[in-house]
């Protein structure tokens, strides 16, 4: 059983739409990462957070420690945002687990 | 901008053959990770190095997989013999010092075992 659950698995949106991708985990964590993986495999780290909210450009990541839940939001989505978005959590025992990813397709 | 280098980018091999992947982390990064990513799934840690020492290899199938980072810089991951189920993307990442720091990923090596 994957201890990091992401939803939805696949998401198709029209350009300009507001996107939300969710991540939930099971026990206490030290940090949570949001990663972006483009076709071809390259992975880029978007955010690392342990509380609250972070913003970078059109991307916003939030985390609710009590609810063991994080969301990644994309405002004014663009076709170049099409990628797989992966949530990874660092558990308190220094074990890192990755979600299966959310495949986002933004159509022009 | 400094990047994690991996080679080869693609590898096709027959089952029972040996295969090796190479990774050169960002200069100054003490921690190096090898991950395996099966299509449609998230990455899974195979081995983590801190300098030249193995920190975690609990998920590494040691009967056929080996990894080394002899001088604490670049690293090699080997599979011998390769099996059909080893077909996957093999990703290398590095960070300054452990999971508390941002990980930087290489482009990956896509392995196909026939």
Whether the Cβ atoms of residue B107 and residue A42 lie closer than 8 Å to each other: yes
Taking only Cα atoms into account, the Rg of chain B, rounded to an integer number of angstroms, comes to 13
- The pLDDT of residue A1 is 46
Inspect the interface and report whether the beta carbons of A40 and B107 lie closer than 8 Å: yes
pLDDT at residue A9 above 70? yes
CA B53 to chain centre: 15
Of A2, A41, A98, the CB nearest to B89: A41
Of B44, B99, B106, the CB nearest to A90: B99
- The pLDDT of residue A26 is 87
Write the DSSP symbol of residue B43.
Answer: -
Inspect the interface and report whether the beta carbons of B103 and A31 lie closer than 8 Å: no
Question: Which residues of chain B are modeled with pLDDT < 70?
Answer: none
Interface test with B, best of A43, A83, A87, A89 (most B CBs within 10 A): A43
Above pLDDT 90, what percent of chain B? 89
Inspect the interface and report whether the beta carbons of B42 and A42 lie closer than 8 Å: no
Candidates B78, B76, B93; CA nearest to A37 is B93
Per residue in A25-60, pLDDT (tens digit) is 988 888 999 999 988 778 999 999 999 999 999 999
Q: Strands B10-13, B109-113: parallel, antiparallel or unpaired by DSSP? A: parallel
Cβ neighbours of A99 in B, within 8 Å:
42
Cβ neighbours of A100 in B, within 8 Å:
40-42
CA–CA dist B65, B82 (Å, integer):
9
Write the DSSP symbol of residue A79.
Answer: G
């Amino acid at each position: 059983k994957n201890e990091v659950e992401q939803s939805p698995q696949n998401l198709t949106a029209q350009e300009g739409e507001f996107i939300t991708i969710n991540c939930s985990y099971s026990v206490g964590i030290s940090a949570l990462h949001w990663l972006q993986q483009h076709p071809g495999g390259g992975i880029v780290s978007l955010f690392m957070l342990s509380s609250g909210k972070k913003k970078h450009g059109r991307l916003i990541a939030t985390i609710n420690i009590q609810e063991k839940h994080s969301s990644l939001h994309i405002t004014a989505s663009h076709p170049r945002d099409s990628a797989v978005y992966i949530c990874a959590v660092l558990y308190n025992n220094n074990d890192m687990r990755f979600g299966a990813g959310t495949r986002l397709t933004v159509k022009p | 901008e400094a990047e994690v280098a991996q080679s080869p980018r693609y590898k096709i091999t027959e089952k029972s053959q040996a295969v090796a992947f190479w990774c050169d982390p960002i200069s100054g990064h003490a921690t190096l990770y090898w991950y395996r990513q099966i299509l449609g799934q998230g990455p899974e840690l195979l081995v983590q190095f801190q300098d030249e020492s193995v920190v975690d290899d609990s998920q590494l199938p040691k009967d056929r997989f080996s990894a080394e980072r002899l001088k604490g810089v670049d690293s090699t991951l080997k599979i011998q013999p390769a099996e059909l189920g080893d077909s996957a993307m093999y990703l290398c990442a590095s960070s300054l010092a452990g999971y508390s720091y941002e990980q930087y990923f290489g482009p990956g090596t896509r392995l196909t075992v026939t």
